[in-house]
Structure 1
Amino acid sequence: MRAIQITEFGGPEVLRETELPDPVAGEGQLLLDVDSAGVNYADTHTVENSYLSRSALPMVPGAEVVGRTADGRRVVALTDNGGYAQKAAVQTYLAHELPDTVTDGQALALVVQGLTAWHLLRTSARLAPGESVVVHAAAGGTGSLAVQLARQFGAGRVIATASSQDKRDLALEMGADVAVDSDPEGLTERLTAANGGRKVDIVLEMTGGPVFDASLAALAPFGRLVAYGMASRTAPTPVQPAQLMGRSRAVVGFWLMHCLGRPGMYREPMAELLAMTADGRLRPRVGGVYGLSEAARAHEDLRARRTTGKLVLDVTR
């Protein structure tokens, strides 16, 4: 089968197309003929071995696929890597059948980024009706869905941040009330102004570094900052307990892998997201489709912040 494999850690340049033996499904697994694979920012960390879980070489990256089972069922599934390939062996309990009205790209947008956005708001931030929500990188895969879900879940004000006017306009189109520049310089003040001069209740933060620092400073009493990424590859200033106690603020970490296998944390929210997409309440945005051999270019574009929405590899070409 055709696949993208890495034999050394590094940037997009280590992603190389090759021929590999077909995987064999083990007990409790399905073998899928892959049509499409999703590209996530986490994949860029996996390829350079800087993510929360360590990688082993050689490796085929890719954490999500849409494909067909031997009996013809069309499913979307999470993988333990191995997604950038024509075939993938996936855990049966992580495969979800797709309605015909949901496209490959939409399904791939939901299985990692949609579930992440759902849990950021429901599980980690515990959004209450009327609360203000800041969504960083609001034009991206997770951010564009978080903006929409925050509105669906009853947020009082949705404040988006993005690095360009085009991306801010997209966030407004997705349902944000206001969109501001994501530059960390003056960010605390812009977030407060965007909330009518008041500190904010919830921040969904995946950048780290000075953006994290500015976001924490923008939290109201009993506000929650949920950290779910490290896109800047820069550590924030260490948080001291007194900083949290002094304003009754909370910092919560989130990693989707901790939801897998826990009752009610995977299949049920995934079914809700698919139903919302099928009936039009949720609009997952596909920002770019690349051929399998273009995986390196997809990573380059993602890391350079040239993309919006969900990136997809068309494994059939």
Structure 2
Amino acid sequence: MRAIQITEFGGPEVLQTAEVPDPVPGPRDLLIEVERAGVNYADTHRVEDTYLSSTSLPLVPGSEVAGRTADGRRVVAMVDSGGYAERAVADPNTAFDIPDGVDDATALALIIQGATAWVLLRRNVHLAQGESVVVHAGAGGVGSLAVQLAKAFGAGRVIATAGSPDKRETALELGADVAVDSRSEDMTAALVDANEGRRVDAVLDMTGGRVTDESLRALAPFGRLAFYGMASREAPKPVQLPNLMRHSATVSGMWLPHAFMLPGDVVGTAMAEMFELVRSERLRAVLGGEYPLEQARRAHEDLRSRATRGKLALDVTR
């Protein structure tokens, strides 16, 4: 089958089209004929071997797919790897039927980015009615959905950040109350000003570096910062525990695979709620474009340049 494979770690240049053996499903696995494969920041980290989990070579990247099972069901699934290919194997516990009225690209946006936004808001920062929340990269894959979900969950003021005027306009169109330039010299002051002079209750952060440091300083007493990525590739300063106590602040991390381990089918609950919000037109995925499978390298280049917005996907059918 056709796939994108890497045989050495590196940047987008190591992504190569190859013919590889079909995956062999176990007795409980789902074999999926892939039609669309999602592209995520995590994929770029896995390709360069800077991801949270270890990676071995050769590797077919890709952690989310949409397609059909042998019995014709339309499904979206999270996979360990192997998504950038014509066929993929998934654990049934990480696969969800796509309901009528939801297209493949939207389903792909929900399985990782949407579920990430949902878990961050519901389980990490425990967003309460009327609270203020900062969504960094508010026009990105997670951010564009987090802005809308925060509103749906009763946020009092949603503050999005983005690096260009058109991305800030996108965040406002999605429901953000105010959009802040992510390149602001003093993010602490910018966020407090955007919240009408008050410190903020919650921050969803996937940037790292000084943005994380300055966002932490913008938290109100009992404020919460949820850290789920490091797009800048710059580590924030170590958090000093006495400072958390001094400001009654909470910092948490989130890696979506852990949510599948929680009791109560947390991700299934998130997907069901988001599918219904999509069907009722209260939630929409910002779709950043599709690339033919062979153009995976260009998709990674565009994503890393931060020139994209919303959800990127590979069209495996062409």
Q: State if a TM-score over 0.5 links the two structures.
A: yes
After TM superposition, give the deviation of residue 184 of structure 1 in Å: 5.0
What are the equivalent positions in structure 2 for 1:57-136 lying under 5 Å apart? 57-136=57-136
Aligned residue identity for 1:179: A
Is the contact made by 1:65 and 1:79 (CA closer than 8 Å) also made in structure 2?
yes
Structure 1: runs of 5 or more not aligned = none
- Over aligned residues, Cα RMSD in angstroms? 0.8
Is the contact made by 1:184 and 1:214 (CA closer than 8 Å) also made in structure 2?
no
4+ residue runs over 6 A deviation: none
Q: Which residue of 2 aligns with 1:306?
A: 307
User: Distance in 1 between the 2:218 and 2:76 partners?
Assistant: 38
User: Distance in 2 between the 1:261 and 1:98 partners?
Assistant: 22
Q: Which residue of 2 aligns with 1:157?
A: 157
Secondary structure at 2:134's aligned position in 1? strand
User: Distance in 2 between the 1:193 and 1:261 partners?
Assistant: 39
What are the equivalent positions in structure 2 for 1:274-313 lying under 5 Å apart? 274-313=275-314
What are the equivalent positions in structure 2 for 1:196-211 lying under 5 Å apart? 196-211=196-211
Secondary structure at 1:246's aligned position in 2? helix
How many residues align structurally?
317
After TM superposition, give the deviation of residue 96 of structure 1 in Å: 0.7
Give the fraction of aligned pairs with identical amino acids, expressed as a percent. 63
Q: Name the TM-score, length of structure 2 as normaliser.
A: 0.98
Is the contact made by 1:184 and 1:210 (CA closer than 8 Å) also made in structure 2?
no
Aligned residue identity for 2:223: G
Is the contact made by 1:287 and 1:311 (CA closer than 8 Å) also made in structure 2?
yes
1:259 corresponds to 2:259: yes
Residues 1:244 and 1:184: Cα distance change in structure 2 (over 3 Å):
farther
Secondary structure at 1:134's aligned position in 2? strand
Aligned residue identity for 1:164: S
Q: Could you report, residue by residue, the CA deviation over 1:56-113 in whole angstroms, capped at 9, with x for unpaired residues?
A: 1101000000011111111000101100000001111211111121011100000000
User: Distance in 2 between the 1:279 and 1:131 partners?
Assistant: 25
User: Distance in 2 between the 1:236 and 1:92 partners?
Assistant: 37
Q: Name the TM-score, length of structure 1 as normaliser.
A: 0.99
What are the equivalent positions in structure 2 for 1:46-65 lying under 5 Å apart? 46-65=46-65
Structure 2: runs of 5 or more not aligned = none
Q: Which residue of 2 aligns with 1:14?
A: 14
Q: Which residue of 2 aligns with 1:143?
A: 143
User: Distance in 2 between the 1:266 and 1:220 partners?
Assistant: 29
Residues 1:259 and 1:196: Cα distance change in structure 2 (over 3 Å):
same
